[in-house]
Each structure stands twice: as C-alpha cells, then as structure tokens.
Chains A and B, each alone.
Chain A
Amino acid sequence: MNKVSRFLKTFFLVDILRGLAVTMRFYFGRKITIQYPEEVQPSPERFKGILRLYKDENGKPLCIACKACRRACGTNCFDIEGVRDPGTRTMRPVKYDWKLDRCTFCGLCVEACPTTPKSIRFSEEFRMATADKSRLHFHLEDMYLKGKDLQKFFQGGSKT
C-alpha cells in the first residue's frame, strides 16, 4: 500500500507541484533585499564603526585629554596634547591626531576612556572609503564629524 501510494505520488508529480507552490509563495512574499545606497542595514548594538569623539548635551567636549586612550592603544594611533582651561580648570585637548590607517578597531581606547559618558566611542559609520591617503589622518576637529560631513571629509572636501 505504501509502495503504491508512493508510486502514485511520484507519477502525478505531487512533490514537484508542491515545490512550485513553495516558490510561488516566495514570489509574492516579503523580500529581504536591502537596497544599499537608499537603505542601510540597521547596525547591531555593539557595532564597531569608525571611532568618534562625542560631546555632552550642552555641546561641550567630553574629552579631558588624559591620554588614557593613547596609552591603551596597541598601534600608536593617537597623538594628544591638552591644556588646562583657565575658567573651568579642566583639561581640554588642543591636539588630537588619530590615524585611521593604523587603527585595528580593537576597542582598547574606548575601554580605557575614564569619562562618563565615554568621550571616545565607536560610531555606526562604516563607510570609510577614500581616494586620498591623507584623509586617513584625523585632527581634533575631524574627530567630531559624522554623517554627510564625514563623507565630505573623506571625499576631499574642506577640512571643517
């Protein structure tokens, strides 16, 4: 009986018709393609994009030029100098050079950062292509760039 039913199933192409139904369902189903330049995949929570310096809610820089990131860095990406702000008596960086071409995205600098919230953090930006190698060397003002300004920087636009 089992043999007969199996034969009938094969003979009338039941499984092939079922397969065709499956592909037809996919045909009208939801597509998983993300059309890249228009849509960007949402990045995971701990995504390691390009490093960025952050400011607090009032627009004041968080960095206190303690150079902990520089000491933690395994590849010597950083060159930092700070001066004491006479008014608030806190250290602020006046020079913050960072080399993207040396960075291994290990995250040691982020771990070492003592401020709360952390001054240096990974951003969600993953578009770091540039045709000019000098664009891989960031200075203090470049470290705050994001989004379109950062892309303009990479494309060789004005170093704002």
Chain B
Amino acid sequence: MTNTGFVFDVLIPVGKIVAVILYPMLMTIVMIWLERRVVALMQKRLGPNRVGFQGILQPFADAFKLFLKEDIMQDQADPLLFKVAPVLVMFSSLLAFCFVPLGEPIRIGTYQLTLWIAQSPVGLLLVLGLSSISVFGVIFGGWASNSKYPLMGALRSVVQILSYEIPIGLTVLSVVFFARSIDLVEIVNHQSQAKIWFGFMLPVSFVVFWISAIAETNRAPFDLPEAESELVAGYHTEYSGMKFAFFYIAEYAHMVLVSSLVVIMFFGGWLAPFPNVPAFAFLKVIPGFVWYLVKIMFFLYLYVWIRATLPRYRFDELIRLAWKWLIPLALLNFLVVALIRYIL
C-alpha cells in the first residue's frame, strides 16, 4: 500500500514535471527541423537533408554547435538584466505549460492520471498572463544589451505586444462567454457537451485570435522585433551560446503554447473530430493525446506555411492593422457574441 502511495504521490508528479519541461524542448527540436524543411520545400529547395534520415538530426547538430559556442557578454551590458532576460523568457514559456491540458484523464485502476499539472479555475488567464511575461524578457534583453539594434527590436516588441494583447483578450472573452468558464479543461469539456467546436461557432474570433497570436509570438509576417534585414537579429543580437539558445527555444515553446491554446479554445483540445457523425465513431478509439498532437502540429505547420508565404509588414501597417481593424472587429464580434449568449 505504501508502495503505491509512493508511486502516486512522488513518482507521477515528478514524472509530470519532467515531461512538462521535456515536451516543449522536444517540440522545439521537431519545429526547427519542420520549419527549415518546409520553408525550403516551399521555396523549391530541399533544405537540410544530410544529418540523419532526411536531416532529422539537424536540430541536434545546431544545438551542439550552440553548446560549444563562447558565451560573450560585452562590457557595456547591464550584467544582471542581461543574464535574467533569457531565463525570464524561458521560465514564462515553460511555466505556462503546467496549465495546458494535453489530453483526457487516463484511468489506471482507481487512480486517475491527469495529463496536466494543475487545473486552475483561472487557467486561461494564467496562461495568457505568463505568456505576456515573456515580453519582459525581450525588453530586458534589448535594454541590457546596450546596443542600438537590440533596443530597437525591444521597443518594437513592446508596441507590438501591447497592440495585439487587446484583440487576443477580446476574442478569448467571446470563447469564455460561451463556455461560461476560464478553466481550460472546462472549456474543452463544454465543447464535448455542445458537440461543436468553438472554432466553427466563432470563426471571426478564431481568425482574429490567430492573427494576433502570430503577432504575439513575433512570427512572420509580424516578426518586426527580430527583422533580420533591418535589425540584424533584433533583441537577441548581442546574445550568443546557450543564452541565445534560450531565446530561440523560448520562441518555439511560445509557438507551441499558442497553438495549444488555439486547439483548446477553438478546436476541441483532445476531442476526436466529427462527434455528430456515427460513421466516424471509430475515431474515438485513438487516445485524446494523439488528437491533441495532430491538431497542434497542424497549427505549427500553419505558422511555417504563413512564414513561407507572406512578406513582412511595415511597422505602421502592423499598428494600423491592430488598432483600425482587429480591435474594432474583435469588439464588434464580442458584442454580437455577448448579445447572442444573453438571448440564448
């Protein structure tokens, strides 16, 4: 009896913690490979295909190179902030994963293994808040570098995230109004009961959220904070070695996080598709975790696809898009959703 107690009380929580740290790292490795290959294929190139089968070991080669690189900090930098910035970015991305449900609870005998670390009644707020903390890392990094291009990148990042947090908040509200909860697990459960995913109920919310999410993760076509043609590499120009790798991993972890949020809020998290069609009932045999992975892989692919397609926005266009289009649209959408919800 004590033996099982040890397993349930110690081993499983520790295992979960390890998994939550490893999962974004693994996804980063997959994403680096996926991004380089897919962008190359979309540009009529082949991309890295020499290291391992079809270049699958290329990220490991990159990581190995970064491990061996000299860690440089220039004399003029602010030493404390310079070191804190990459940690802060990484920390906020990894911590947010604690609240992301990866699948339905698995029953082992009498024990219920939940595929999330914490189910919080304010999970959605926590995740959004934590993902916003990473902007502090970006600002600190840009400021502490004491160099003009990182500073420009950091400034752009601040303006961009301030602009795009608003449409994100408004579209999240419309989902919350339908689910009547800001608990991420509850939102998925509600979609399971409603037998329709919010993405099909609230298409405008989804599109606005997705555009804003691309802007918040600093991805093309909104990658102005790290526009390499203008700002060398943006806020992490002065970073090298593992500190740079932290920024890099955190960016991809953030993408995975945002994709997870989209999947949970708009596309039913771990639910199997076509809940209403009896012919597709066999899809429910596949575990929820797999469905969740398939769905987030689609959105991660969409990130890369969009990056390969669209040129970068000019900065004033970016701000105009947020304030003159997305925010009014999100407000209107929110108003309509609230009215419908009030009547129903």
- Using CB atoms and an 8 Å cutoff, list the residues of chain A in contact with chain B: 13, 16, 19-20, 22-24, 26-27, 29-33, 35
**A144 to nearest B CB, angstroms?**
35
Q: Are A31 and B309 in contact (CB under 8 A)?
A: no
- Give the bracket for the number of chain B residues in contact with chain A: 10 to 19
Pairs across A and B, CB under 8 Å, 19 listed: A13-B207, A16-B310, A19-B309, A23-B42, A23-B309, A24-B42, A24-B305, A26-B41, A26-B42, A26-B44, A27-B38, A27-B41, A27-B42, A30-B44, A31-B41, A32-B44, A33-B45, A33-B46, A35-B46
Q: Name which residue of chain B comes closest to A25, CB basis.
A: B42
**A13 to nearest B CB, angstroms?**
8
Q: Name which residue of chain A comes closest to B311, CB basis.
A: A19
Tell me the chain B residues, 43-67 only, with Cβ under 8 Å from chain A. 43-46
How many residue pairs link A and B with beta carbons under 8 A? The number is 34
A126 to B316, CA, bound (A): 50
A13 to B309, CA, bound (A): 13
Q: Name which residue of chain B comes closest to A28, CB basis.
A: B41
Interface of chain B: mostly helix, strand, loop or mixed: helix
- Using CB atoms and an 8 Å cutoff, list the residues of chain B in contact with chain A: 38, 41-46, 207, 305-306, 308-310
A24 to B44, CA, bound (A): 11
Question: With A16-B310, A31-B41 in contact, is A23–B46 under 8 Å at CB?
Answer: no
A27: B residues at CB distance < 8 A: 38, 41-42
B42: A residues at CB distance < 8 A: 23-24, 26-27
Pairs A-B, 4 closest by C-beta atoms: A33-B46, A23-B42, A19-B309, A23-B309
B309 touches which of A16, A30, A32, A35 (Cβ 8 Å): A16
Q: Are A26 and B43 in contact (CB under 8 A)?
A: yes
**B33 to nearest A CB, angstroms?**
16
**A52 to nearest B CB, angstroms?**
32
